[in-house]
């Protein structure tokens, strides 16, 4: 059956009029994506800064003071307490007043002067494993650099190996370039599905399905007509989210805007179709929005690779993640934003977007019925 533009426009115009009268949906469509991008963009961060450090300097020597100063000058630590006894560390960690304690034993300088290794102890609060691990890595790097400087000063030799590290795509290892592109994908999937989860259910609850059933419009024309206005809204939201990422979070955009627009269109069609499918199957606005939230939020947040590396998950979860569309769109967003890659790299994700769009629309058309029971 060929879709007639006149019928399609009539359904789309009807949906636009209903949307204009629904203030809640308008706010959800235009305000919520921007608010969520800004909120989650600031809240979700893997950067560990301003780590509270308690110092137990039992040596009180020039070398011990230099080591403590190395921690402060690195910019990652600030001294919260200077303690006399190691027994005073536990109360500070228990109350959360410090993240790490640095213990420099007696004889530290004397041991270094004799050419032997001088042990230094770092005690961290392991209740927050992620922060503790990062803090320990910082501490290890600082002590290693200080140890190298001591070796150079005492032996007056140039190190035989001089490592030079270069980081591509996210030179400062900041969280926003990693988080924000993926966050846009997750938020747009949630918002798109929630918006269209109201469309068909609204017709049933308001009693206008009888009028729609009496028209000669095919169900495919109804679905596409209802989807088109929300597709336009979704593309506006994606554009606004990209601009927010670039201006508010300083995320560089290095790739093709056209490629991103095509991929985003396919992704939105699939997500909007999923929402219409839920709406047509449940026929209740409240129940449909709840199911749409659960079906999109949890999988896209936990199994898409935004928060956790998929390769470290158990094999069953890795297999389930293959069914999460946000997983592929996050790869597209990061590739276009940060790496300036094209279809030669993203063709697999592009195919997944096409399949998602076809499946989403197919499910929506199949679930919609014009018959009045």
CA distance 145 to 164: 14
Confidence at residue 234, expressed as pLDDT on a 0 to 100 scale: 92
Q: Which residue has the tokens 């109804």?
A: 222
Whether pLDDT at 55 is above 70: yes
Whether 241 is in a domain gets the answer yes
Q: Are 241 and 34 spatial neighbours (Cβ–Cβ below 8 Å)? A: yes
How many C-beta atoms lie closer than 10 Å to residue 300's C-beta? 26
Has residue 83 been placed in a domain? yes
The answer to whether 244 touches 30, Cβ cutoff 8 Å, is no
Q: Does residue 38 contact residue 51 with C-beta atoms inside 8 Å?
A: no
Residue 65, in any domain of the structure: yes
The answer to the question of residue 5 being in a domain is no
- At residue 20, does pLDDT exceed 90? no
What's the pLDDT score for residue 263? 96
Residues 63 and 39 reside in one and the same domain: no
pTM given for the model: 0.81
Would you say residue 305 lies in a domain?
yes
Q: Are residues 199 and 147 in the same domain?
A: no
Whether 325 and 187 share a structural domain: yes
pLDDT in tens, 89-134: 988 888 888 889 999 999 988 888 887 888 899 998 887 777 788 8
Give the tokens for residue 326. 């946000």
Same domain, residue pair 191 and 294: yes
Last residue of a domain, one of 155, 187, 207: 155
Q: What is the mean pLDDT of residues 335-364?
A: 93
Its sign, for the CA torsion 282, 228, 352, 337, is negative
Tell me which residue of 173, 209, 269, 178 sits closest to 18, measured CA to CA: 209
Residues 104 and 16 both lie in one domain: no
Once rounded to an integer, what is the mean pLDDT over residues 309-336? 91
Are residues 266 and 307 both part of a single domain? yes
Domain end call among 86, 121, 155: 155
What is the model's pLDDT at position 184?
Answer: 92
Same domain, 232 and 204: yes
For residue 103, give the 3-state DSSP assignment: strand
For 28, list phi and psi in degrees, rounded to 5.
-65, -35
- Cβ atoms within 10 Å, residue 201: 24
Q: Are 328 and 352 in contact (CB under 8 A)?
A: yes
pLDDT reported for residue 214: 67
Q: Is residue 147 part of a domain?
A: yes
Q: Are residues 144 and 104 in the same domain?
A: yes
Mean pLDDT of 307-333: 91
Domain of 150 in residue numbering reads as 51-155
Task: Kindly state whether residue 7 falls inside one of the protein's structural domains.
Answer: no
Q: Do 57 and 200 fall into the same domain?
A: no
Q: At 93, which CATH number?
A: 3.40.1710.10
126-140, 221-235, 272-286, 347-361: segment of lowest average pLDDT: 126-140
Last residue of a domain, one of 90, 120, 155: 155
Which residue from 217, 188, 216, 208 is spatially nearest to 21, judged by alpha carbons?
A: 208
Determine the pLDDT at residue 127: 77
Question: Is residue 307 situated within a structural domain?
Answer: yes
The structural domain count of the chain equals 2
203, 291: one domain: yes
Mean pLDDT across the stretch 337-349? 91
251 and 308 belong to one structural domain: yes
pLDDT at 320: 92
Q: Give the span between the Cα atoms of 107 and 59, in whole angstroms.
A: 6
Identify whether residues 92 and 35 lie together within a single domain. Answer: no
Pairing of strands 77-83, 100-104: unpaired
Judged on CB neighbours under 10 Å (0-12, 13-18, 19+), 161 is exposed
In the predicted model, is pLDDT for residue 157 greater than 80?
no
């Amino acid at each position: 059956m060929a879709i007639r533009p006149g019928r399609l426009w009539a359904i789309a115009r009807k949906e636009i009029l209903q949307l204009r009268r629904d203030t809640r949906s308008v706010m959800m469509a235009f305000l919520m994506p921007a608010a969520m991008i800004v909120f989650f963009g600031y809240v979700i961060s893997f950067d560990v800064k301003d780590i509270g450090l308690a110092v137990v300097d039992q040596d009180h020597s020039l070398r011990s003071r230099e080591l403590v100063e190395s921690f402060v000058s690195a910019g990652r630590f600030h001294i919260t307490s200077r303690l006399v006894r190691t027994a005073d560390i536990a109360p500070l960690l228990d109350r959360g007043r410090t993240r790490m304690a640095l213990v420099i034993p007696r004889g530290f300088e004397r041991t270094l002067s004799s050419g032997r290794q001088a042990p230094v102890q770092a005690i961290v609060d392991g209740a927050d494993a992620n922060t503790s691990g990062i803090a320990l890595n910082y501490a290890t790097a600082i002590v290693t650099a200080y140890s190298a400087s001591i070796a150079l000063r005492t032996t007056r030799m140039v190190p035989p190996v001089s490592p030079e590290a270069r980081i591509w795509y996210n030179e400062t290892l900041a969280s926003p370039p990693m988080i924000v592109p993926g966050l846009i994908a997750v938020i747009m999937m949630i918002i798109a599905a929630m918006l269209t989860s109201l469309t068909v259910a609204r017709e049933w609850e308001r009693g206008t399905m009888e009028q729609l059933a009496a028209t000669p419009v095919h169900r495919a024309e109804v679905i596409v007509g209802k989807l088109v206005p929300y597709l336009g809204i979704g593309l506006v939201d994606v554009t606004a989210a990209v601009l927010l990422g670039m201006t508010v979070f300083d995320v560089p955009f290095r790739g093709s805007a056209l490629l991103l627009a095509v991929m985003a269109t396919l992704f939105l069609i699939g997500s909007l179709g999923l929402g219409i499918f839920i709406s047509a199957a449940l026929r209740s606005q409240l129940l449909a929005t709840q199911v749409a939230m659960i079906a999109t939020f949890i999988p896209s947040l936990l199994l898409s690779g935004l928060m956790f590396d998929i390769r470290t998950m158990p094999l069953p979860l890795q297999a389930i993640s293959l069914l999460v569309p946000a997983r592929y769109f996050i790869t597209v967003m990061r590739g276009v934003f940060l790496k300036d890659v094209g279809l030669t790299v993203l063709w697999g994700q592009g195919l997944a977007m096409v399949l998602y769009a076809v499946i989403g629309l197919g499910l929506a058309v199949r679930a919609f019925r014009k018959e009045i029971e």
